[in-house]
Amino acid sequence: MIRSTLTPAGRRMAVYSLNTVVVGTGAAGYNAADRLWSFGQRDIAIVTEHINAGTSRNTGSDKQTYYKLTLSGGDPDSVRDMAQTLFDGQCMDGDNALCEAALSAQSFLRLVELGVPFPRNAYGEYVGYKTDHDPRRRATSVGPYTSKRMTECLQQAVEAKGIPVLENLQVISILSDGQQAWGLLCLDLKAADDPERRFVAFNCKNIIYATGGPAGMYADSVFPRGHYGASGAAFEAGAKGQNLTEWQYGLASVNPRWNVSGTYMQVLPCFFSTDQNGGDPREFLMDFFSNRGEMLTQVFLKGYQWPFDVRKVAGGSSIVDILVYLESCKGRKVYLDFRRNPCGGAEIDYAALSPEARTYLEQAGACFGTPLERLLHMNKPAVDFYLDRGVDLAKQPLEIALCAQHNNGGLAVNKWWQTNVEGLFACGEVSGSHGVYRPGGSALNETQVGSTRAAQYIAARRSGQSPDESVFVQRSQALIERHTAVADAALQGDVGNVQAIWDEAAARMSRFGACIRSKADLEMLRAEVAQRLSAFPDTVRAGSHRDLWKVYRLRDTLIAQQVYLSAMLDYIARDGKSRGSALYTDPGGVKPYESLPDVFTFTVDDGHRAGLVQEVEWQQGKCLCRWRKVRPIPEDDDFFENVWRSYRESGNIDP
């Protein structure tokens, strides 16, 4: 890596020249760098806004799941079988599914070697359990913090190799002409006050973009605080998005951000809401349910039917998500209270529960007392988790919302996780390698597989130095000028409004562009976003250099919102029906409960689009959507001599 001081577009800045820049220090980014090094590509660096930021390091759940090929027992499994499971999640490309299955064991065992304590039995078998959308028992976990342990172990591996990590650099632009990427422009978060040092650029042949899901779009979010993603910059650079409509939403506490799944629901807490100031408390679930046993049963089921699922609204537990969402839409705050039983604290009539719920609670010996007493009895660590974060469930209720948790879609990638922009690779959650449904834990598998594939390809096919600095300066001038001008405009005046605009934009997205999607609301919101973007230079003000990073974040977020909203509207225009975690209002559909507002009239998708992928491209503020067939799972060429010969010739890494 060579460091120079150059003056593209008349701006003095440090420019680093090197073969590959990895962006992000999550599970995907660290693994990409570690693999590049192991495959022999040493002219690399990692760029990150904060080493300790991101979803992998800062999130978890009751039993955070990693999905892998079966490595224990007598259950039959195969690479092909696992690829089929992933592919069956709909709208997923078969080559990506096959790679995720084929590299699963290698990626998993590498993590084991690095020290991630995945449990094994006395004979060394990595025994698994069944997760959602999983026909086998391929899931495993190290507890609530699987992704954190992965990240820590991968970080150690990277540090041991001495791979440079450049921190406090926020990528604000991917330098590209839409066909090919050749660098990055970053804001130096430690030097934002100094126009001579504020910007740093990278001149490189390859970028592995591992910036995580675009969480900054939503206010109601269980992504960790301080994680925003950076998909807007990739769209602006010409990268296509795919399956962007496919998110997972579910109930989560907002402070701290944590999924309230599993036992938190099975102990039957009391749901209530208040006005914004904490006044006018009232339980609201029984406004909808006419039968107390039915209400409690659906709350119980929400425990292991965590994500909002349109197939479980009629007669199912997803009605609980909707009732929470509707309460929030009234401007009220929603809470779980573990100190008292639902319906005014009355003793629970366990006989009124469904046999499934009743039997479970009976077997757990938990048919007594308050929700908190039941939770302490069944899962004390779940209480301790909140206590450790300053929330004593014995003394206070827990605020919740229906939150965005994961984006299955993202940037479109080929089987080497390269986007349509040459030299720009995307792996981890920023990539759109999954479709409507995916087995729990497959996101973490993909962070490892996608990054390994990109590293393999770069090491084999895209080695060599970055172009000459003069070439870099010449072709980057206009882009650098455009992006640095954003700061000049935002620093006018000393009254900032960027946080307020961002809060408003994110809240509107949670209200109208999350799991409940109607054409009229989406159109209204997209027009709002377009207006915010076009007025950006004249309206958004940082107030001081300290908030300059937010200005670039907001711009990135608005571009992402525009692309995602366009994808949703195009889906409706193509007569797309409700699927996964997204309910689309359909006047020709059915409203499962008369008491719900009309926006909940919808039709559940029959899977006829399972073989199609929606792609979206951002071009100068306009979004173009196209549909294509999924790439099928490639047919096996398993004749060993053939594979061996081509492997000797090309490593089986096609150009």
Ligand X SMILES: Cc1cc2nc3c(=O)[nH]c(=O)nc-3n(C[C@H](O)[C@H](O)[C@H](O)COP(=O)(O)OP(=O)(O)OC[C@H]3O[C@@H](n4cnc5c(N)ncnc54)[C@H](O)[C@@H]3O)c2cc1C
Q: Give the binding site for ligand X (CB under 6 A).
A: 23-29, 47-50, 53-56, 59, 61, 64-65, 147, 170-171, 210-212, 222-223, 227, 229-230, 259, 405-406, 428-429, 440-444, 447
Cβ density class 240-271: b for 16+ within 10 Å, e for less = bbbbbbbbbbbbbbbebbbbbbbbbbbbbbbb
SS3 408: coil
Count CA atoms within 13 Å of residue 527 on its CB side.
5
**Residue 62 CB, nearest distance to ligand X (Å)?**
9
The smaller minimum CB distance to ligand X, of residues 185 and 530, is found at 185
Q: CB of 69: closest distance to ligand X in angstroms?
A: 15
SS3 for 207?
Answer: strand
Pick 33 or 568: Cβ nearer ligand X = 33
Kindly state the smallest distance separating residue 54's Cβ from ligand X, in Å: 3
Q: How far is the CB of 523 from ligand X (least distance, A)?
A: 29
Give the Cα separation of 521 and 511 in Å (integer): 9
Closer residue to ligand X, CB minimum distance, 94 or 214? 214
Residues 6+ apart with CB under 8 A from 359: none
Neighbours of 531 (CB within 10 A): 11
551 contacts: CB under 8 Å, gap ≥ 6 = 486, 487, 490, 498, 540, 542
Residue number, 252 or 383, with CB nearest to ligand X? 252
* Minimum separation from the CB atom of position 308 to ligand X (A): 14
Residues 6+ apart with CB under 8 A from 535: none
Closer by beta carbon to ligand X, 222 or else 366: 222
Whether the link from the prior residue into 256 is cis, omega within 30° of 0, is: yes
Bridge-based pairing state of the strands 241-242 and 612-619: antiparallel
Residue 452: other Cβ atoms inside 10 A: 25
Which of residues 206 and 341 has its CB atom nearest to ligand X in the complex? 206
Nearer to ligand X, 233 or 522 (CB): 233
Q: Which is nearer to ligand X, 227 or 333 (CB)?
A: 227
Taking the C-alpha atoms of residue 615 and residue 419, their distance in angstroms, rounded to an integer, is 12
When the beta carbons of 64 and 379 are compared against ligand X, the nearer one is: 64
Q: How many other CB atoms are there within 10 angstroms of residue 600's CB atom?
A: 20
Min CB(262)–ligand X separation in Å: 12
Cα distances (Å, whole numbers) of residue 270 to 89, 352, 378 = 34, 17, 17
Closer to ligand X by Cβ: residue 48 or 245? 48
Whether residue 240 contacts residue 58, with contact meaning beta carbons closer than 8 Å, is answered with no
Q: With left for phi above 0 and alpha for psi between -120 and 50, is residue 337 left, alpha or beta?
A: beta
310, 313, 522, 611, 612 from 583: Cα distances, Å: 6, 10, 13, 20, 19
In the block, residue with structure tokens 């938190």: 264
Give the integer Cα–Cα distance in Å for 57 and 61: 12
**What whole-number distance in Å separates Cα of residue 655 and Cα of residue 651?**
11
Q: How far is the CB of 254 from ligand X (least distance, A)?
A: 12
**How far is 574 from 577, CA to CA, in rounded Å?**
9
Torsional class of 643: left (φ above 0), alpha (ψ -120 to 50), beta (otherwise): alpha
Q: Which is nearer to ligand X, 26 or 423 (CB)?
A: 26
Q: Which helix (H) or strand (E) holds 15?
A: strand 13-23
Provide the 8-state DSSP code for 518.
-
Which residue lies nearer to ligand X by CB, 169 or 604?
169
Of the pair 85, 518, the CB lying nearest ligand X is at 85
Least Å distance between CB 227 and ligand X? Answer: 5
Tell me the closest approach of the beta carbon of residue 212 to ligand X, in angstroms.
2
Q: How far apart are CA 442 and CA 104, in angstroms?
A: 10
Taking the complex as a whole, the smallest distance from the CB of residue 618 to ligand X amounts, in Å, to 17
> Between 522 and 548, whose beta carbon lies closer to ligand X?
548
Minimum CB distance to ligand X, residue 295 (Å): 26
User: CB of residue 166 vs ligand X: minimum separation in angstroms?
Assistant: 10
Half-sphere exposure of 419 (CA within 13 A, CB side): 36
